[in-house]
Chain A
Amino acid sequence: MTNADFRQLWLCFGQAAAQNKEELNRLDAAIGDADHGTNMDRGMQKVAEQLTSSPPPTLQAACKMVAMTLLSTVGGASGALWGSGLLAASKVFPDMDSCDDKTLAAALQAFVSSIQQRGKAVAGDKTMLDVFLPATAELSQEVDHAPAASVIPPIAAKAKLWAEGTAPLLAKRGRAAYLGPRSIGHIDPGATSSALWWDCLGQVMGASK
């Protein structure tokens, strides 16, 4: 992954957050407080602004910048989780213009581990991890055998299904957990925005072939 790919990824996610703001709010209204789209969009517009006005020189710097921006603009659980995760990932990314596939997989792994640590959620808790855990697990396995540019797009294509797979789950973390059984039947908004992110990663890495 190059620094330009990384920038493209976040610009793409920024557009996706803006386009899906109402839909994410609607999903959140069912089991939370109707603001997931608003919060992600606010953070992502700031990220896009920063990436365009003062593009960081290296992958590490760019990842750290996105982390700090989300940490200070999104708020709520999402801001803390995306921010903590990206801060951990930035420590894996090199202070250079690009990184190899294994480093990218390791950075994603660090992202996920940090989110698990901060949020204490596990697979099946109806959270963003229900997209990120299977996706990074597949990536870590397959990146040994094939280039990320061909491995990531098919994983990304499954992300939406993983997000939709949160519907029958009983929420165990976050505000949806207060609903108990009434959380069943609704797709998790955090998993949905995570799937949008994977869709962007798939597009960017697919185009880098």
Chain B
Amino acid sequence: MKKIMNSPDTLVAEAVEGLVISFPQYLKQVPGTHVLTRVHPKPTGRVGIVSGGGSGHEPAHAGFVGYGMLDAAVAGEVFTSPTPDQILEGVKAANHGAGVLMVVKNYTGDVMNFDIARELAEAQGISTATVVVNDDVAVENSSFTTGRRGIAGTIFVHKIAGALAEQGASLAEVEAAANNVIAHVRSMGLALEPCTVPEAGAPTFTLADDEIEMGVGIHGEPGIERQKMRPAHELAAALLDKISGDLPLKSGDHLACIVNGLGATPLLELAGLAREVSMWTQSHGMTLDIVWTGEFMTSLDMAGASLTLLPVDKSLTGLLQAPCDTPALRQGVAHD
């Protein structure tokens, strides 16, 4: 294992400091925590939005703290949910008197720790709501199990909830909009190479030169099936067919898409994949209104990508295109 770090024990703490050093115009640290919050807070009376989870998914979530998206992000250890006391600090920092929405990815640990934090926040008189993102179609949904994982679709939830909160919507309205996105956003990913957790020091699984792991999550866990490597258009179709069948999508639909790199995939390949998504939607009679291509929700140094689709109407497109200004996503900036 080769990683640019001093020690696995201190990597997260040092990275949190490094994010503040890198983006001082956006981020400040709640002292003594791994909570990053806006340098310029929202006005009083607007709903706050907090997200968080294990580290290793950068730019999620601290990269999306700023105008139009999150108010605070809570970083746990690598691939480990943050603790309730830290989440509570995030909620307190995000609270501007109109309540706080917690956007949680559907993992057992995250759901439980955010749940405990919500109990602590309510005990302090902060009204909160929780939404749980579960966009990964690789995992079967069942009320008897943990259910689907939350992956890159979470970023669309951040954006839409964030835009509404900025407009002055109530906590109930922001929560309902977030749940509406969650009900319709779908993602799926594949890995070309596994990732190496700094503490563990070895890759989480091994793949032969001609193999891919289909249906991976974002924690280096194995996916649902080992498959043969094949050209970009076939890989895109495999992911999109599964997503499309799950929703289901139909001819005439308008879509927003995230072409997400998992950490070690060149933008060149992601751009090629974006083109395949466009070809696929055209051939299915659908219109691709918005495409975000890049790294949004990574899995350390995993090579691979995930695709996210969200059927959109004018109102959702408007919220996705609304201005935002964060370290990892800036759009709608006025210029001549």
Contact = CB atoms under 8 A, between A and B. Distances in A.
Contacts of B304: none
Interface string B70-111: 000000111111111110000000000000000000011100
Interface of B: 54, 76-86, 107-109, 112-113, 115-116, 138-140, 144-146, 149, 197, 199-200, 202, 204, 217, 219-222, 224
A16 interface: no
A72 B120 CA distance: 13
A25 B145 contact: no
A76 B197 contact: no
B242 to A, nearest CB: 15
A73 B86 CA distance: 10
A80 B113 contact: yes
A173 B82 CA distance: 19
Interface residues of A, number: 34
Contacts, number: 113
Contacts of A73: 83
B204 A33 contact: yes
B112 A71 contact: no
A39 B144 contact: no
A34 B108 contact: no
B200 A71 contact: no
A69 B49 CA distance: 27
Interface string A24-42: 0100010111110011001
B118 to A, nearest CB: 12
A83 B149 CA distance: 24
A83 B119 CA distance: 14
B199 A25 contact: yes
Contacts of B146: 172-175, 177-178
A173 B107 CA distance: 9
Counting chain B CB atoms within 10 Å of each CB, which of A42, A71, A84, A175 scores highest?
A: A175
